[in-house]
Amino acid sequence: MKVGVVSFPGSNCDEDALLAIVEQLHEQAVMLWHKDHDLQGADVVILPGGFSYGDYLRSGAIARFSPIMQEVVAHARKGGPVIGICNGFQIAVEAGLLPGALLRNESLQFRSLPVTLRVESTATVFTSAAAKGALLTMPIAHGDGRFVAGPEELDRIEGEGQVAFRYVDATGAATAAANPNGSMRNIAGVTNRTGTVVGMMPHPERALEPLLGSTDGKVLFESLLSLTKA
Amino acid sequence: MKRFRVAVHIVPRKGLLDPQGKAVAGALHTLGFSSVGDVHVGRHLVIEETATDAAHAERSVREMCTRLLANPVTEDYEIASVTPA
C-alpha cells in the first residue's frame, strides 16, 4: 500500500501523518505537493491538518481548488480512499467529498485538548479495525470545528450511517459538556455513502505514542491495512 | 467592455448559530446600546469585474458566490451594488 499525504502551504500535520504510515504501519508514504498534478500512484490519500492557504475566505475553501485536489477528487470519485483530518476534513467538505460544513467553534475559542470519541460506524476505510461503540481518546486543536448541516441533510447522514465519530463523555454519552465546539449532534467525523472518504476534526496521528498521552489513534491507521489484504 | 465594482454581502444563514454575532451583540449591550437585537457577522467583498454591462457583471459575481465565495450549506449572499469602477 502506498499512502500520499498532501502538503498545502500552511499544512502542519503532514509530517506526523507521513510518520504514522511509515513508523506505525511500515507502509510506503509519499508527500504530495499542492501544485502537483498526480498522486504518484498513491492508493490512499491523507489530507492533513493545518491552516492551508491561511484559512482565507473559509477554512479549506481555497485549498479545494489547488491542482492536487482535482486529482484527489477524481481518486475519491473512483472509490479511492481519502482521509481528511482537521483542516483536511474542512478541505474534503469544501470539495464536496463529504456532507455538511465546519464553522467557528461555538465558544469562539481555539480548543486544544484531549477528547473522547465514540466510534459510530465501522463500515469505513478508517474505522474497519475498530469496534462499534469503542471509546477513543485523542486530541483536538482547532478553531473552526463546529459541524453543521441542514436539518434534512443531518437526518439523512444519520439514517444512512454516515456519522463516523461522536464526541462523548467518559461513559460514552454524547452530552453537551463533552462537545468541544458545538457540533450538531456531537458529530466529530463523517464518512461518504460508501465509507471510502472519512473526515474528522480530532487528530489520530497525534495519538500514536504513549509519551503523548494516548495510542488510540493506532486503530484508525491499522484499519487502512485491511485495504491491502482485500 | 467596461469596468465595474461589484459589492457582495455574505452572511450566515438565518437560524444557524452565529457565535460571533452573539459576542458582538453582547459587547454592544455592555457599552450601553441596549436597543441592539441580534447581530450577524458576515463578509463584505468588493470585486472589480470587466463586463459588457452591469447585468453581466452581476451575473458573473453571482456565479463566483455559488462556486467559491459563499458556502451553500451555511451562508447566503446578496449583491449590494454594481457601480462603474
For position B52, which CATH number holds? Answer: 3.30.1280.10
Per-domain boundaries in chain A: 2-229
Give the cell for residue B55. 447585468
Decide if A107 touches B, using CB distance below 8 A: yes
The CA distances from residue B51 to B60, B63, B77, in Å, are 9, 14, 21
- Number of domains composing chain B: 1
pLDDT digits (tens, 9 = 90+) for A18-33: 999 999 899 999 999 9
Cα A182 to the center of its chain, rounded Å: 18
Best A56, A58, A181 residue to mutate vs chain B (most B CBs within 10 Å): A58
Range of the domain at B33: 2-84
pLDDT per residue rounded down to tens, chain A (230 residues): 999 999 999 999 999 999 999 998 999 999 999 999 999 999 999 999 999 998 999 999 999 999 999 999 999 999 999 999 999 999 999 999 999 999 999 999 999 999 999 999 999 999 999 999 999 999 999 999 999 999 999 999 999 999 999 999 999 999 999 999 999 999 999 999 999 999 999 999 999 999 999 999 999 999 999 887 65
For residue A196, give the amino acid letter. Answer: T
Which DSSP symbol is given to A193?
Answer: T
State the ipTM, two decimals. Answer: 0.83
Q: What is the CATH number of domain A2-229?
A: 3.40.50.880
Are the C-beta atoms of residues A214 and A137 closer than 8 Å to each other? Answer: yes
CB atoms within 10 A of CB A225: 16
Looking at residue A228, its pLDDT comes to: 76
Tell me the three state secondary structure of residue A109.
coil
Looking at residue A226, its pLDDT comes to: 87
Tell me, yes or no, if A13 is annotated catalytic: no
**What parts of chain B have a pLDDT lower than 50?**
none
Give the long-range contacts of residues A117-120, CB within 8 A, separation 24 or more. Answer: A117/A165, A117/A166, A117/A167, A117/A168, A117/A188, A117/A189, A117/A202, A118/A165, A118/A166, A118/A168, A118/A172, A118/A174, A119/A164, A119/A165, A120/A161, A120/A163, A120/A164, A120/A165, A120/A166
Q: Chain A residues with CB inside 8 Å of B19's CB?
A: 104-108, 182
Which residues, 6+ apart, have CB-to-CB distance to B33 below 8 Å? none
Looking at residue A229, its pLDDT comes to: 63
Looking at residue B18, its pLDDT comes to: 92
